[in-house]
Amino acid sequence: MACVTCHNPSKGWADGMVVNTDNTGNPLQRNTPTLLNAAFQKSFFWEGRAPNILDQITAVFNNDKEFDSSVHQFSTEILKDSTYLQLFEEAYGGISKRNTEVIRAISSYISTLKSYNSKFDRNIRGEEDSFTEQEKLGFNLYMGKALCATCHFIPLTNGTVPPFFTEHEKEVIGVPETASNAKLDDDLGFYLLPNSQLEVYRGMFKTPTVRNSEVTAPYMHNGVYNTLEEVMNFYNLGGGGGLGLDFPYQTLPLDNLELSKQEENALVAFMKTLTDTKVGGEY
Which of residues 190 and 92 earns the better pLDDT score? 190
Which of residues 102 and 183 earns the better pLDDT score? 183
pLDDT given at position 281: 47
- Whether the CB-CB separation of 16 and 217 falls below 8 Å is answered with yes
pLDDT given at position 246: 86
Q: pLDDT > 70: what percent of the chain?
A: 98
pLDDT given at position 69: 87
Q: Write down the pTM of the prediction.
A: 0.92
What type of residue sits at position 171? E
pLDDT bucket at 254, cuts 50 / 70 / 90: confident
Question: Per residue in 95-146, pLDDT tens?
Answer: 776 678 889 999 999 999 999 999 999 999 999 999 999 999 999 999 999 9
pLDDT given at position 97: 66
In the predicted model, is pLDDT for residue 212 greater than 80? yes
From the DSSP assignment, how many helices (H) and strands (E) are in the chain? 10, 2
Mean pLDDT of the chain: 93
Cis peptide preceding 27, ω within 30 of 0: no
pLDDT given at position 145: 97
pLDDT given at position 177: 97
Cis peptide preceding 218, ω within 30 of 0: yes
Question: Per residue in 225-243, pLDDT tens?
Answer: 999 999 999 999 999 999 9
How far is residue 98's CA from residue 161's CA, in Å, rounded to a whole number? Answer: 35
